[in-house]
Amino acid sequence: MSDQQKTPSADQLKVGIAGLGTVGTGVIKIISQQADILRQRTGRDIVIKGVSARDPKKLRDVDLSAFEWFGDPMRLAREADIDIYVELMGGADGIALASVEGALKRGVDVVTANKALMAAHGTRLAQVAEENNAVLAYEAAIAGGIPIVKALREGLAGNGIDRIYGILNGTCNYILTTMEKTGRPFKDVLADAQDQGYAEADPSFDIGGIDAAHKLSVLAALAFGRAVDFDAVYVEGIERIGAEDIAYASEFGYRIKLIGAAKRTAHGIEQRVHPCLVPLDTPIASVDDVYNAVVVEGDAVGQATFEGRGAGEGPTASAVTADIADIARGLRLPTFSIPAAELAPAQASPMEHHEGAYYLRLNVLDKPGVMAAITIILAEAQVSIASIIQRGRSTEEAVPIVILTHETREAVMMAALDKIRAHEAVMEEPHVIRIETF
Give one DSSP letter per residue of 140-178, joined into a string: GGSSTT--HHHIIIIITTT--EEEEEEE--HHHHHHHHH
What does the pLDDT look like over 114-163, one tens digit per residue? 999 999 999 999 999 999 999 999 999 999 889 999 999 999 999 999 99
Give CA separation, 82 vs 70, 92, 111, in Å. 13, 23, 12
What does the pLDDT look like over 373-425, one tens digit per residue? 999 999 999 999 999 998 766 556 788 999 999 999 999 999 999 999 999 98
* Distance from C-alpha of 239 to C-alpha of 11, rounded to nearest angstrom: 51
Q: DSSP string spanning 169-184?
A: -HHHHHHHHHHHHH--
Question: Where residue 204 falls among pLDDT bands split at 50, 70, 90?
Answer: very high
Among 3-7, 152-156, 185-189, 226-230, which stretch is predicted with the lowest mean pLDDT?
3-7
pLDDT at 433 over 50: yes
Q: Which residues make beta-bridge pairs with 348?
A: 269
* Residue 137 contacts residue 117 (beta carbons within 8 Å): no
pLDDT at 268 over 60: yes
Catalytic sites, residue numbers:
215
pLDDT score, position 51: 96
* Distance from C-alpha of 346 to C-alpha of 30, rounded to nearest angstrom: 38
pLDDT at 311 over 90: no
pLDDT score, position 1: 35
pLDDT at 371 over 80: yes
164 backbone dihedrals φ, ψ, rounded to 5°: -140, 135
Q: CA angle, corner 18, sides to 6 and 317, nearest 5?
A: 70
For 154-309, which CATH class?
alpha beta
DSSP annotation of 349: P
pLDDT at 326 over 80: yes
Residues of the chain with CATH 3.30.70.260: 354-435
Residues of the chain with CATH 3.40.50.720: 12-145+320-342
pLDDT score, position 2: 40
For 12-145+320-342, which CATH class?
alpha beta
What does the pLDDT look like over 234-251, one tens digit per residue? 999 999 999 999 999 999
* Distance from C-alpha of 247 to C-alpha of 60, rounded to nearest angstrom: 43
Q: Which residues make beta-bridge pairs with 234?
A: 272
* Residue 279 contacts residue 357 (beta carbons within 8 Å): no
Residues of the chain with CATH 3.30.360.10: 154-309
* Residue 168 contacts residue 292 (beta carbons within 8 Å): yes
Q: What percent of the chain has pLDDT over 90?
A: 84
Q: What are the strands, taking DSSP E only, across 219-354?
A: 234-235, 254-265, 268-279, 291-298, 302-309
For 354-435, which CATH class?
alpha beta
pLDDT score, position 141: 96
pLDDT at 108 over 60: yes
Average pLDDT over residues 298-321: 92
Q: Which residues of 384-415 are buried (b: 16+ CB within 10 A; e: fewer)?
A: eeeeeeeeeeeeeebbbbbbbbeebbbebbee
pLDDT at 171 over 50: yes
Question: Where residue 313 falls among pLDDT bands split at 50, 70, 90?
Answer: confident
